[in-house]
Amino acid sequence: MTRHACKIGPTLALVLTALGTTALAHGDVKPQAVDVSTLPPIEGDWLTENPYRVDAVGEEVWAEALRIGASGYNQNCARCHGLEAISGGLAPDLRFLEAEEYGDEWYVERFREGYTQNGITKMPAFGELLGQEAAWAIRTYIETRPDDGAMEDVTPELAAMRDDLKAGSADGAAAAARLQEIAAEIETLSGAPVADSAAWRAANALNADPTATAKAAEILTIGLSAAK
């Protein structure tokens, strides 16, 4: 793969600083295979920019990459980088990696080659074992994490909607419309255009089936718990 000069934005610089000061090794993670059979294959050399962004592949492929990336992240990354990519401070907070080429280049280099500091493996190399499709699916998941502050602002309303949906007193179509409005207000920390928030997930469930109020309530319950 041809190396390019990597422009470092301010939030990426924060991530790099965190990585340089991380004291705890977490290189003992054993990579777990990720099923990418439903994603378009990536041929040739490793890319330096995420090919699964919605403007490049469309919403259906992007959503599938997001689903697979969530599974791949939870299997291989959450132990060190935290559930929902919220770091506890022992590993870089990947949510701040800009959803642009220079953030992608930093990410894919670490994913492929791992990271070693003072002879200690801080992160194992995942590239050869998991491959490009898994790498970019995980990247898609990471960059769509919602901003914590934005989630806090809408938590009271989402909790009230969750209770109404759970009780069966909410109109599914109306709830989906309001959840979409809330989801549109929730930004990502990476600058990606769509946040994979609990509101977005619940709205999708109701748009697919307006009677799925119990499922939407469960999605909101899980999402609100993760945001605490």
Residues 134 and 193 in one domain: no
In a domain, 102, yes or no: yes
Lowest mean pLDDT among 67-76, 118-127, 202-211: 118-127
**pLDDT for position 219:** 96
Q: Which of 95, 118, 143 is the last residue of a domain?
A: 143
Count of domains forming the chain: 2
Calculate Rg over the CA atoms of the chain: 18
Residue 224 burial (C-beta neighbours within 10 Å; 0-12, 13-18, 19+): middle
**pLDDT for position 92:** 87
Domain that holds residue 26: 10-143
In a domain, 137, yes or no: yes
Q: With contact defined as beta carbons under 8 Å apart, do 193 and 160 qualify?
A: no
Q: With contact defined as beta carbons under 8 Å apart, do 175 and 199 qualify?
A: no
Q: How confident is the model at residue 113 (pLDDT cuts 50, 70, 90)?
A: very high
115-129 confidence digits (pLDDT tens): 988 888 889 999 999
Is the pLDDT at 7 greater than 50? The verdict is no
Residues 157 and 80 in one domain: no
What does 161-183 look like in DSSP terms, one character per residue?
A: HHHHHHHT-S-HHHHHHHHHHHH
What value, to the nearest 5°, has the Cα angle with vertex 60 and ends 49 and 104? 15
* Torsion over CA: 37, 42, 47, 53 (sign): negative
Residues 130 and 167 in one domain: no
Q: Which of 143, 175, 205 is the last residue of a domain?
A: 143
Q: Which of 109, 143, 177 is the last residue of a domain?
A: 143
24-53 confidence digits (pLDDT tens): 345 556 789 999 999 999 999 999 999 999
Instruction: Say whether 150 sits in a helix, a strand or coil.
Output: helix
| The two three-digit tokens of residue 160, written as one number | 């009230």
Q: pTM here?
A: 0.82
Residues 24 and 96 in one domain: yes
**pLDDT for position 29:** 64
Residues 35 and 130 in one domain: yes
Q: Report H helices in the chain.
A: 10-21, 54-57, 59-76, 78-81, 101-113, 127-143, 148-167, 172-185, 198-208, 213-227
Residues 55 and 114 in one domain: yes
Residue-wise over 27-42: b if at least 16 C-beta within 10 A, else e? eebebeebebeebeeb
Q: With contact defined as beta carbons under 8 Å apart, do 119 and 210 qualify?
A: no
Which residues are bridge partners to 25 per DSSP? none
In a domain, 85, yes or no: yes
Q: With contact defined as beta carbons under 8 Å apart, do 154 and 162 qualify?
A: no
Mean per-residue pLDDT over the chain, rounded: 87
Residues 34 and 90 in one domain: yes
Largest CA distance in the chain: 59
143-190 confidence digits (pLDDT tens): 999 998 888 999 999 999 999 999 999 999 999 999 999 999 999 999
